[in-house]
Structure 1
């Protein structure tokens, strides 16, 4: 008799007995209430708990979202990674974690479009649900945009990593910080200068974090497209998903004509951000994945336009 025939004739214990065989035990006595109204609510305890807490909440919450964009595709469905939180006073033990995901589910059922005005409403309502004077929400997501080859016009999809953070305070209102990380090509000026021919290039990662002005209007300006343009237009060359030979010739020659150090990139990008009227303050970071070194090259710059008024 082969193994298959043996298995057909094997007499197994019941599923319940199998569970017990591997460590399951019978339920013990149940003495505590099952009705919510009668259950202890430790998180809402009121005592002197020694310190205020700046922020408590939940993070790494993944959820489907809809992204509006002024670049093609205009509406895209993607996955958002959320962080929610609020402050807790010294007199409160904790927060009710389930209320964060209850708020998320409410907006999901309404069709959760990730735009700034919607997130502002979401955050102020969240503060009310938590019975707090403040709340914050941060959502990160990949944003896709169509890119054409410079000669062939053949299209493909590029993407950048985007984040929106909305902080609400009942007394002071909203702070909105947006972040975009886009990829560019940079060609080394030093390599071009010292070499008889050629120059090494690399892929650069430009991260821009911007605090938006109070009067920012997302209907007039797509902040994602604006930050992307600030990064790409100051690079040695743009990144393309589809390049035929004539495209590749154009891109490599453009890079050679526009050599950039990481220091050059962040200063040029900073100049564009400075000129954007919807930007109150910003930071720029460029990290080049060096092609002839094992290390990366990196530079960072921060600027607050409001400091000019002081």
Structure 2
């Protein structure tokens, strides 16, 4: 018995479609690097474009492609998520002979062990998104992979800190005779004393295009984000640790603009071998503590543009 292939029949409409496929199918991802196994659940989405002549895509090929590549990882483990995402995207395009573009997206949370002064190690969870796009160009398939990861930190406000320094200076100056202080002594006191300001938890995100001949270390990206802020957030803080963290943050005040530019510098310095045409997006959002709004900054550029601006700075 031959079943009808409805998808291959002629479309009743004269419009092509950019993306047709499946969305948010949950699978387990398994990464093996240096004998260390990382597993986490992730949502996958897979799409192809559809020419105007056809009624529909063969939808079952999309989840089948995802499952086939994940099954393959059981026998041939991958050490980097971008590697199997690139494979997924190219396999998907090859299974849809009528398509010119295939996209696969992976959205999950990775838990990474990082050093901790008090406990030795601690776990931190980081949202991660990976997108692979394969496109037919002149009888060849070109695939681009973009990896996005987020991390949190603390930013102390430089503006409020300067206002508080002026306020403290005024208060002490009014009492200089009582405490036998001159202007130099007052300045020295203000230089060593912790000065109040408002602080906020910040979310930093880094999206980077990864060329097919290179891989990337997630921890390196996380460090770039966290080290671009006033201080790092911690899950567990004893009283002495909390005091130290707050002091460090207030000694290193930053606007979201500062943090975004710090990220740009660290990306340029950290990836000297990345091609000029690879794209980067840097984002910082401060969850404001004294305003009803949040503060936000973004930088989007190619590595070439970042390097040119870095040389001029």
TM category (shorter chain) comes to 0.7 to 0.9
Match of 1:125 in 2: 91
Q: Which runs of 5+ in 2 are unaligned?
A: 169-194, 309-313
Query: For structure 1, which segment, 266-275 or 239-248, has the greater mean C-alpha deviation from structure 2 after superposition?
Result: 239-248
Query: SS of the residue aligned with 2:219?
Result: helix
Please tell me whether residue 143 in structure 1 is matched to residue 110 in structure 2: yes
> Cα offset for 1:145?
1.4
Q: How many equivalent residue pairs?
A: 266
Deviations 1:188-236 (A, max 9, x none): 11121111341111100011111223432x2xx41x2222111111111
- SS at structure 1 position matched to 2:7: helix
Aligned-residue Cα RMSD (Å) equals: 2.3
Per the alignment, do residues 209 and 284 of structure 1 end up closer, same or farther by CA in structure 2, a change over 3 Å counting? same
- Select which of 38, 47, 54 maps to 1:85: 47
In structure 2, how many angstroms separate the alpha carbons of the residues matched to 1:158 and 1:47?
Answer: 50
Contact 1:208 1:227 (8 Å CA) reproduced: yes
The match for 2:57 among 89, 95, 102 is 95
TM-score by length of 2: 0.77
- In structure 2, the residue matched to 1:181 is 150
Offset at residue 136 of structure 1 (A) = 1.4
**Residue correspondence of structure 1 range 19-38 to structure 2 within 5 A:** 37-38=2-3
SS at match of 2:237: coil
Give the counterpart of 1:249 among 243, 246, 250: 243
Counterpart contact for 2:82–2:147, Cα < 8 Å? no
Match of 2:14 in 1: 50
Structure 2 residue matching 1:170: 3-state secondary structure: strand
Greater displacement, 257-266 / 234-243? 234-243
In structure 2, the partner of 1:262 is: 256
1:116 matched residue in structure 2: 82
Q: CA deviation at 1:169?
A: 1.7
Structure 1 equivalent of residue 203 of structure 2: 205
Task: Report if the CA contact (8 A) 1:154-1:242 is conserved.
Answer: no
In 2, the alpha carbon distance for the partners of 1:258 and 1:74 equals: 36
CA distance in 1, matches of 2:109, 2:219: 13
Does the 8 A contact of 2:69 with 2:87 survive in 1? no
Cα distance in structure 1, aligned partners of 2:196 and 2:32: 42
Q: What is the rounded CA distance, in whole Å, between the counterparts of 1:198 and 1:272 in structure 2?
A: 28
Question: Is the CA contact (8 Å cut-off) linking 1:204 and 1:286 kept in structure 2?
Answer: yes
Bigger-Rg structure (1/2): 1
CA distance in 1, matches of 2:11, 2:114: 58
Distance in 1, matches of 2:262 and 2:85, equals: 31
Residue 30 of structure 1 aligns with which residue? none
Q: Equivalents in 1 of 2:115, 2:84: separation in Å? A: 32
Mapped pair 1:271 → 2:265: yes
Question: 1:137-171, CA deviations, whole angstroms, 9 ceiling, x for partnerless residues?
Answer: 11011011123333x24432111111111111232
Q: Secondary structure, in 3 states, of the residue corresponding to 1:260? A: coil
Q: Unaligned 5+ residue runs, structure 1?
A: 1-34
Residues 1:241 and 1:148: Cα distance change in structure 2 (over 3 Å): farther
For residue 294 of structure 2, what is the aligned residue in structure 1? Answer: 296
Shift of 1:106: 2.1
